[in-house]
Chain A
Amino acid sequence: MLEVKDLHVSVEGKEILKGLNLTINPGEVHAIMGPNGAGKSTLSAVIAGNEGYEVTSGTITFEGQDVLEMEIEERAQAGLLLGFQYPVEIPGVKNVYLLKAALNAQREARGEGEIPAPEFMKLVREKLAFMKMDNSFLQRAVNEGFSGGEKKRNEILQMLVLQPKLAMLDEIDSGLDIDAMKVVAEGVNSLRSAERAILMVTHYQRLLDYIEPDYVHVLVDGRIVKSGDKDLALELESRGYEWVTEESAA
């Protein structure tokens, strides 16, 4: 589904990713872990199309399409969706309006018509209830004045409505208390299906207690230095990152 080959990425002349390889198949849940500054968030940002990063070499393909040739919105329309670590505030724009515009833009790109309003409201109310969010969320401006937990829940709500093929979650657990984390994890778990893949970027193993990954990759200094299953995450939790770094240097 997603194929990242020998990816090199720089920010303001400084190389962050130095030859990263990653393959993700439908139905799989991958977790990228690693110390601060290793380039974890860079990977999902580059796949999503953030223009602050310069891809100097390598390829990214998604379902056979060259992702690096696609506009940001085309990537989203193709099913690549990013849950932000720091969701952006848009004053004056109602949540419900953003959701509807996004869903209709994606439907249009797929050659489907606009969703009828009653059908849309039914869908959104159902997902809101699932995320334990009040209906009043819809009338509030996008992320404006939201607490950290509300912002993250809102990101998952968007995923549930937009149903991406590959859901990328950038540090979705940061700033969450345990109750909020459970709600977010339930939302993410409900996205799991044989056709959909999930890519999580996280610093802590804690999240993986709630969302069990099929694969864990350790990202150190711009490369994936070790891959394994969920047990690798537990090992990292008890031993830290240093031994992996040393092992890869050896």
Chain B
Amino acid sequence: MLEMIIIAAIKVVVVIVAVLTGCAYSTLLERRVVAFMQNRVGPNTAGPWGLLTPLADGLKLIFKEDIVPAGVERMTYALAPVIAFIPSMLAFAVVPFTSDFSLFGREISGTLSDLNIGVIYIFAVTSLAVYGICLAGWSSGSKYSLLGGIRSSAQMISYELSYGLTIVGVILIANTLSMRELVAQQDTVTHWFIWRQPLGFLLYLTCAIAETNRAPFDLPEAESELVGGYHTEYSSMRFSMFFIGEYAAMLAVSCVGTTIFLGGWQGPFLPPIVWFVLKVFGCMFFYIWLRATFPRFRYDQLMNFGWKFLFPLALLNTMVTAFFVLWKG
């Protein structure tokens, strides 16, 4: 019993450290890649190729003054970053990072916990992040924050539906909700669910980007209109909580997308964890690529796109899949 707890604790620590490091370095990746796509160089001064930039950024944010504006709702203001940050970290609890392996004679499972309703758990937990953003906007006592928060809640609720529906197709085919099972079913490249659910994958990507408030769906923090959106009034570590939360959410949806559509850690030749990291990296790169490519949606465009295009398509995808699943037995 004690041994199990120790193993679990070590795994949790490893995953949290890995995810936070991943977040830090995806900020660097983003800045560098976007810079190169714009014929710039990006941060390259701290360390070789700017590899120490995230460290320098973190130090800077920690030592900055934590300014609390006069008109804020103190309790909510302090809680909001935490609420935005925790759910995206929670999502990693059920992600199968690697196959089961044995270390020092003990069998260790590749996931933190093999929940039999893993997919639903992820969707339940990640949608909580909207509360953080919404409350941050409301408690800041600033019109920009409030607008950002309201936009974010409208956007996330609109896209939550399609987001959930995109996965239903895969679940119908796989007939399981466990992330482990999903990976186990995609044992060869031809069995990846992306080939059986290509539309579902595209819809998932789109909704995931909207869910994590990333460009071109980054209306809640639209810099050009809302200063900083919901985190306008935040500074220092509170701000960086939002920031890490956003990148952790990106990583989380990349991990989930990888697990559900791209075969998780399955892959030839290379060890499972390398495949997993590579695929997640690919998703993250796509995110960044998308940000460098497309301008931000207008608010009405966003709503039209969500309700009149994505949602019917997701419904259609689900119905067609359900039909075929029933038909083929």
Whether A and B are associated in the same complex: the answer reads no
Residues of A within 8 A of B (CB): none
Residues of B within 8 A of A (CB): none
